[in-house]
Amino acid sequence: MLKIYKSDEDGTLNELTIDNISKGAWICLIDPSPYELKTIGTLTNVEPNFLRAALDEEERSHTDVEDTGILVLTNVPILRSADAYDTLPLGTIITHDYIITVCLEENDVLEEFSPKRAKFFRTFKKTRFLFQILYKSATYYLKYLRQISHISDEIEDRLRDSMENKEILRLLEMSKGLTYFNAALRSDGAVLDKLLRLRSNQSVAPMLKMYEEDEDLLEDVIIENKQAREMVEMYSAILSRMADTFSSIISNNQNSVMKFFAAMTIILAIPTVISSFFGMNVPVPLASAHDAFIAIAFLSAAIAGFASYVLWRHRMF
């Protein structure tokens, strides 16, 4: 999908086409076709590798600088399902005339820059627009981390009452998401540090112009990224300990059940053994007594009751 936008001075975001595109436009590519990649590559004179970099799900965050543009590839958080979190590469390319974003899927970060929310950004202020995208990405990491914290508390309350595999699997799914977040935030942090160093690079100054407000915004992004990394490490440790704790509880509950069944097996075996003795086809005591069945039943119950008392004293129940 190819969308082209450009902001007016008053903040209105207008949609353009290839035919009437002008300097200062934002070219948004979502899962682009080969034809769209070729068209944009020819129009903007951007390196083809820059446009294709974000289309590899395994691509790590990095920054590349060429004469025709600057590629800033970061990973943005996405929500796959209620408990499944993941990251997705987002490439932002700044040229002399345009800013280009490339991503495999629509995501919440780019949705923040829709025409309905166009008042707080300008497409022709390319450097600030880039930093605003990075800032929104960091805030969504924090938002999803707070959701994970809330869900983990909910799962903990449920596991106190019932040990279901479904809840344990939810913990595992969120732990996997935190692992993705941790790797993405670390590599994004390296990209932000490099952008901070590029402000003094005169060779990229014509494309990556930084004013004082832009530098302040970049520092805010770095702070948000560090906070998100600290939260990921903390929540990862909490979920790991929670999973280990409840695994131990489940194992302990299983041992208690096995102890109970073992004790019941011993108790039920006593009447079986006694009745087997008196059921043999040989002369046995009480063979001619009329109340032999009641006597044997009482004897079996008494011995089973005594065994139950002994097992209870040894906490087998």
Q: pLDDT by residue (tens digit) across 143-196?
A: 999 988 888 888 777 776 666 677 777 888 888 888 889 989 999 888 888 888
pLDDT at position 287 is 66
pLDDT at position 223 is 92
Q: pLDDT by residue (tens digit) across 12-24?
A: 778 888 888 888 8
Among residues of the chain, what percentage have pLDDT more than 90?
Answer: 9
* Identity of the amino acid at 85: Y
Mean pLDDT, range 31-54, rounded to an integer = 85
Task: Give residue 317's pLDDT band: very low, low, confident or very high (50, 70, 90).
Answer: low
Helices 212-278 and 292-313 meet at what angle, rounded to 10? 150
Region of poorest pLDDT, from 57-66, 89-98, 113-122, 217-226? 113-122
β-bridge pairing 69-79 and 62-66: antiparallel
Given a contact cutoff of 8 angstroms between Cβ atoms, the answer to whether 27 and 6 are in contact is no
Provide the phi-psi class of 200: left if phi over 0, else alpha when psi is between -120 and 50, else beta: alpha
Contacts of residue 221, defined as CB under 8 A and 6 or more positions apart, other chains included, come to: 131, 134, 135, 138, 192
Q: pLDDT by residue (tens digit) across 208-253?
A: 777 788 788 888 999 999 999 899 988 888 888 877 777 777 777 7
Beta-carbon neighbour count of residue 286 at 10 Å?
A: 13
Task: Give residue 65's pLDDT band: very low, low, confident or very high (50, 70, 90).
Answer: confident
Among residues of the chain, what percentage have pLDDT more than 70?
Answer: 92
Q: Is the pLDDT of residue 49 over 80?
A: yes
